[in-house]
Amino acid sequence: MYKKKPFFIVFEGIEGCGKSFQSKKLYKNLKKNKVNTILTREPGGTKSAELIRNLILKDYFEKNLKEKFDKYTDTLLYLAARNEHIKNKIKPALLKKKVVICDRFIDSTIAYQVFGKKIDFNFIQNIHKRILQGIKPNIVFILKVSQKSSRKRLEKRKNKNRYDNFSKSFYANAQKSFIKIAKNKKNYFILDSSSNDNNLEKKIFDITNKYLKIK
């Protein structure tokens, strides 16, 4: 029997893995079962964090600018958005015993900024100690996707962002990083999302159900 409790679920993976699609599916399934749930994303999730998101994207797309954000400036902006998001949305929702579903969280920072851009891990960890306030996901779904499926999905996207245009090798390395992060962690679930079908939706709901005991 479902007992109302704070619960934090995160979806991670490279662009085109279907995490936004599956996080919406899980959100709808939990709402159907009368579970008090919110769906949010990173970077973003609050008005101020979305402003920071737009700032990061704008800097990336201004091709004429000679001076781009340094990789540490870029990382600090992501962390600033996370601070706003935790303080104003995630923590208040968890305190109200809601289930929070988040499209990306700290593992994206590690996969892209630490493994990808070679940002010092301790630099990020020290800031996280201050801003996370002890909050960590109860479940993390890592969606693993084939290059072919990912590419097809990205080609169909009308609104592309900065991460939709990287090289195949960047995505391959990022995916390896997510899998490496998940290794030997009991609350991490690596699921193949190349098909992104009803079976995957059911698997995700079944895993969540085991934790929440909805039925």
**What one-letter code names the amino acid at 153?**
R
pLDDT at residue number 145: 87
pLDDT at 10 over 90: yes
pLDDT at residue number 205: 97
pLDDT at 157 over 60: no
Cα–Cα nearest to 144, from 197, 83, 191, 208: 191
Strand order of the β-sheet with 99-103 is 37-41, 99-103, 7-12, 139-144, 188-192
The model's pLDDT over 66-88, given as tens digits with 9 standing for 90+, comes to 667 899 999 999 999 999 999 99
pLDDT at residue number 58: 77
pLDDT band at 166 (very low <50, low <70, confident <90, very high): low
pLDDT at 169 over 80: no
Structural domains of the chain, with CATH: 7-212 (3.40.50.300)
Out of 63-77, 111-125, 193-207, pick the least confident.
Answer: 63-77
pLDDT at 153 over 60: no
Tokens representing residue 173 in the block: 């390395």
pLDDT at residue number 195: 80
pLDDT at 59 over 70: no
Overall average pLDDT of the 100-121 stretch:
95
> Could you give the percent of the chain with pLDDT greater than 70?
85
H or E segment and range at residue 76? helix 71-85
